[in-house]
Amino acid sequence: MSKKVYVGMSGGVDSSVTAALLQQQGYEVTGVYMKNWSQDLPGFTCPWKEDFQDAKRVAVQLGIDFKMYDFEAEYRQKVVDYMVSGYQAGITPNPDIMCNQEVKFKLFLEAALEDGADMIATGHYARIIHDGPATLLTGLDKNKDQTYFLYRVTEAALRKSLMPIGELEKPEVRRIAKELGLATAEKKDSQGICFVGKVGIKDFLLAELGEQPNGPIIDQHGRTIGEHDGALFYTIGQRHGLSVGGGLPYYVVGKDMAKNEVYVTTDLQDDRLWHRQLTLTQLHWINGVPPDGAKLQVRSRYRAALVDCTLQTQGNQLVVALSEDIRAITPGQSAVIYDGERVLGGGIVI
């Protein structure tokens, strides 16, 4: 008897091709649109209805069942509130990572299994090996690899998940979609925050929190050189949007939320911009804790190059010693630990 797979269909080309490939492989496929966010913002219309219709069109083309799961209330609590409170605390959280942990590979997985599915599938550029303990490997398309966003998924969830396009490169995915005449074949990839489409993070935070108090921008010599429009909008390493003109470009190197101050430098070699060590908290390991001293690699942001590192556990934190300096390490972001192609896990930068 063929296995029942519920495919998370977002209305994009990647999840459309995921559904088509699994159908070709003999699975009994059901498409599911997750309604996580439907709120319009000033000047921006949430694209959820259009995405839902696109996903439904593809399901009709493939002749598969299609349904919608409404996770909006849980999404607001687990992802949006997490992100907003992080910015208020002065850190830069990653909502896409939390969405995978809490929604796609928890809520969606649980709802699908309860509904009679044997497994779920997503259109992520990553690979899962199911022989023995389920392990997560980087996608074959190194330019599109999304394992950075998946490191907090559990081994138990991976065991019940499929990611077929992890074996393909993006141009091949587009080619398959065109060959099959799928409605989403030419649709552009979504940009911006995972749940609000093209809205910039600053616009989103303004809509959520309102205008923020102005405060001083202070340079490396302790001089006030301008005024910011809310310290929470600024992130370490940021260069654009500082509104302090003339001369060399300024980079954000720190901020003090209590004093409402943002610190900048024109010195690209400023010690506050570069780190040879990371400290991580809220650790998550997919297949068990790697041994201290192991020679591994770390990725400090999406699409950043892997850097050789060694690990040292200190209580419930992890110290990551780097083989070279990394620029603009940002508290609240994730650092992900790899052993070659294999994703071991990681944690949140403090």
Catalytic residue list: 99, 194
Buried b or exposed e, range 265-288, using 16+ CB within 10 angstroms: beeeeeebbebeebbbeebbbbbe
Whole-angstrom distance, CA of residue 81 vs CA of residue 129: 33
Contacts 24+ apart (CB under 8 A), 238-244: 241/202, 242/217, 244/217
Residue with tokens 């141009």: 171
Strand 274-285 and strand 261-265: the pairing is: unpaired
Query: How many residues are present in the chain?
Result: 350
Q: What angle do CA 327, 328, 330 make, to 5 degrees?
A: 140
User: 176: Cβ–Cβ under 8 A, 6 or more apart, which residues?
Assistant: 17, 20, 21, 168
User: 115: Cβ–Cβ under 8 A, 6 or more apart, which residues?
Assistant: 6
Contact 73, 39 (CB under 8 A): no
Nearest to 325 by CA among 273, 266, 254: 273
